[in-house]
Structures are given as C-alpha cells and as structure tokens.
Structure 1
Amino acid sequence: MLGSLARKALRRVYHHTDRILIAEFSGNPITTVIVVYSPTNVAPPEEVEKFYEDLATAVRDVPAHNFLAILGDFNARLGPEDARIPYHDSTNRNGAYLTALLMEHELLPVNTMFRKRTGKRWTFQDRASGMLRQLDYILVRQKWRNSILNAEPYSTFSSVGSDHRVVSRRVRLSLRVPKPSPRIRYTEEVRSRFQLLDEGLEPSSEYRRFVVANEEATRLCVPVLDKTRTSLQSRHPDVVVARGRVEEARLGYVREPTVERRGILNEAKQLLFSTYDRIKGEELMERVQRVQAAQGERQYGGRPGGSSTR
C-alpha cells in the first residue's frame, strides 16, 4: 500500500521472483525497496539457498548510489554474536544465511541497532503457542547507518489480523543538487552538428551526415564503461566450506549448548568472516592488476614489455 505522495514518486515495480518484489521511487537519491518473504527455518536447505542467491542477485543490481531498503519476513533469528541488540539469544539456520548476506553486501539490520525494551523488539507471535520471536527485519547499506534515526515494531493485530507486527524506520537524508542531465547535452550536441549540414543535399546524403552527427555526439557525451566480472563471493568454494563449518558448529551447539561448543561456533564464524575479507582482498588486487595492465598497454602502445619497432 502506498500513500498519494509515494504513488506519484513510484517509477516502477516488478517481481524479481515469487518471493522477491522490487520497487523504485524517484528522488535524489533514488530509493530502491526490495520486499521479501523467506522460506521458513524448516524448509529444505536448497530452497533457502536459492532464495538467498536470488536476493543477492537483486542487491547486486541496485546501483551503489541508490538508497536501498530490504524489508520483509526473513524467518530468521539473529543472536548477539551477529546483531547488536537482538531479541534472541542465538542465531538459527536461516539467521546464518542472513548473516552471510549482511557480510557480503555490507548490510545492516536497523531494527537491531537501537536499545529498546524487550517488548519493542519482537515482531511475530505464534498463534498456537503464544511464543514471541524476531523474524522481520529492515536492512540498509552500512554507509547509510547515520541516516537511520529510529527503527522499531508496532502492534497491528487488531487492525489487520496478522500475527506479525509492522516494523518501521525513520530516515534523514541529506540531498544534493542533481548534475545537468547528459541527455540534454547530447541533444544539444546533435542539434549543433546537424544545423551545419548543407541545405539541398540528397536525402540519402543528409541521412548519412545525420548518423555521423549522432556518432560524434555519442563519443563526446556517453562514457564507455569497462565490463566487470560479477562478484559471486557467496559461491566461492572457500566460502561454501566455511559456511558449512558454521552450520555444523551451530547444530553441535544446539544439541549440546556448552561453553566449549559456543567457542567452536564463534571460531567457525570468525573463519567465515576472514574468508570473506580474504576473497574481497583478492578481488581488489585483481582489479588493480587489470588497471595497471591497461595503463601499460596505453603507455607502450599495447606491445608486450614496452618494446617498440622502428
């Protein structure tokens, strides 16, 4: 549901998958909202992995300068080892997948940021048992954390009959004046070149010169972007192995919640964190090497070793 102002700002809305909906809103910056519904904690692992792969793909497609908000029912519990001020004492299986997503894409669950009383943290009440849980989260990129003023759930059972509470967050954005549109500059460049065309030319000759005017304006106004390889850190073999160790340690701690088992779980998580950091460092070095190689080719005319012929 959207208010009148939000409806006017809506640019597009579409289904990414049957569990992921994406909406874009005009503004400076553009706001991208991803609404999700995760499989439950007892769903087959393949189903949960597919959901998080699809969600990771959607996150990668959002430009870095957009304000990104991911909201929904993640069916995941986060413990104090993975969130600042959570409702639960430990992280469950779905929470481990959510934690991996947070690390890989530098996201933050904002409704675990603020110190609230326990009654203002839970988001779901089981109708059969009456148990309270925190399963719903709002995620934003970490670079926007200082813009989040508040986040907390509100009871809405009486109005809509849901067993979930509405989680809201208040944001303050510092907007900047937009730069002139490249489209306007492109149009002016084409017009200035086309106006120089001689009158009385044959239609075919005039059309060819019009095409040339467009090509020249394109080279001047439209930057050429290098193709970059999509990062799939979550699928890296070392990450898969490290995540498997975390899951194995978590199951061991669930079966036998001792101090020793908790220590093993924390070590496995630290290994997963360091694995992500190492892979990010390797990808960064690879990019630096590609830039250096490209610079060398431009400097020496593309000849190996910088040799030249006379």
Structure 2
Amino acid sequence: MPTVLCIGGTRFIGRATVTEFREHGYDVTLCNRGRHPNPFADDPAVEHVRCDRRDDERLRAVADRLDPDVVIDLVAYHPRDVRVATDAFADVDAYVFVSSGAAYGEHRIPKREDETQLEPCSEREAGDDSPETYGNRKAEGDRAVFAAAEAGVRAMSVRPTIVYGPHDYTERLDYWLARIDNHDRVVVPGDGTSLHQLAYVDDVASALRIVAEKGEAGEAYNVGDRHAPAMAELLELLAAACDADVETVYAGARELAPDLRPGDFPLYNDRPHLLSAEKLHDLGWEWTPHSEALDATVAEHRESDRDGSDRGPRRDVEIDVLDRL
C-alpha cells in the first residue's frame, strides 16, 4: 500500500487531505507538533509522529525512518521550510508544496501558472511572520520547489485560492452563514460585483493527490472552483443552502462611512481575483458544484460554534447602516 506523509494534517485542508488519501488506498502518517486535536486518532491506518518541522535534524530523522512515497507539505510558511523539506525528502516519488493564489504579484484575470508573475520576496520578507508578507513567502517557496525540481526532486506546487468548506477555522464564510441563518436583512459591501474566487476544501485535497500522482516536476497548479460567483450570487447560493429568505442591502463606501469600509467585510475584494485551473483540469481533476459543496459546508457550520463574528462588522454597527438606508 502506498504511503503519504502529511506535514500538518489535523486541521481544515490537512484534515480533508488525509481523508482524500485514505479513501484512495494510502496509508497516512501525520507529522506535526501535536498541538491540535487529531481527528484520526482512532484510525489505525493513520500514524502520528510528533515533530516541529522547524527542527531540521528531527525532520530528517522522520524522513529516514518513514521513507514515505509521497509528502504533502501543508504548513510550509517560509521558503526555508520548503528548502529543508525538499532536501530531506529528495528521494520521494512526489513532494507537493501547498502554496497560495496570493503568491501572484501581478493583477491578471485570470491568473495563469506559466504567465502571471509571482510576488518578489526579500530576505527580510522571507523570515517575516506577518500577513502582509504571506504571498511573498509563498512565492519564494514556489521558487524553492522549482529549484529542487531542477536538482532532480519530483517537487511540485499547488496554489489554491481562498478555501472554504467544513471545519474552516478561518471563519470567513461562517460570518456570512451566521448572518443569513439568523437575520432577515444583511449589509453587503459594494454593489454585489466583488469577486474573489473560492475553492472547496475537498477539491483542494483531491488536487493535492492528483498532482502527487500525475503532476510534472517543477510545475505549479492552480486550484479554484470552475465557476466563480460574484458576491451577490454567492450570497444567493448561501441563502439557498441555508433555506433562508434574506434581504441583501448593498452599501458603498459612502453609505458605510464613517464606521465601516468595504474591506471590513470578509471575502470582499476591490479587484477581481480569479485563477485559471485548466492546467489542473487537464490532469483529470474535477470540481464539486456549489450546491453539493455548500450543503456540506452549511451542515458542519450549524454543528459548530463558529459564527465568524470577529471576521467582520459587529451586528450593532451593521444595524446602524441598515437604519440609514
């Protein structure tokens, strides 16, 4: 039975990735610090080794002991992480780095892997931990993947756009689901045309497996839903999934002032963000239609205690806006 080592693996994308590989006949080992609950603790086919991936010596010992067929690197947030991992796991059949659509530094519609420029990354940015340098660090991680491939490692990169689905600890979509589930009027920033493409978490997981199995060394593959609804349509889809009747009240910067700005709302984007997923699709990857994906997302959201309340405006501030419109 083939083996896969997931660096990370207990939360959100990692959780879906472990499930994806298990369902396709792999034995899985999780490699992480053990700071989050392990949802696979009762699955004998999922082993767990404790390792801080920043402990280079320990990571190399894990590589030597386990000798996995595939490595999925879910928590490489700095370029050095990728360089160390591609060296430690240089002999695996596939090393797949989870990058990000934020790695693109050029505004194009859509962004394509082999055409759209990546963010630059200075030495200072490479060692930084702030959200402002996230895209720079992921871009430099991609460049580390390309360098490893040139050195003979079967290393590849997968670039998801914003990911949504069950167990999403970022709570970006939870904000909107909680609003739609509990209120009959909600404020929507702008005029409803804001577009930030999403990617369903199970589809990201299947992309990681397909790239590991069929991808080409030194290549990057975008992941994003094959249909990218603008915010107005997205909220309609969310309302349908919640079986809710909600009035969406649009408010631009003038209507939101002085207390709010459009960017205070999760998933608002002042410029369209769209990734082409044709390259991944050519490997045989398919996406999950929104109706199916959102049914699963809503069901898990309602079972959780997440409401996204710290990801967007407070309800009392939102009511002030509603009262003025």
TM-score by length of 2: 0.26
From the two aligned structures, give the one with the greater helix fraction.
1
Choose between structure 1 and 2 for higher RCO, CA contacts under 8 A separated by at least 6 residues: 2
Q: Which is greater in Rg?
A: 1
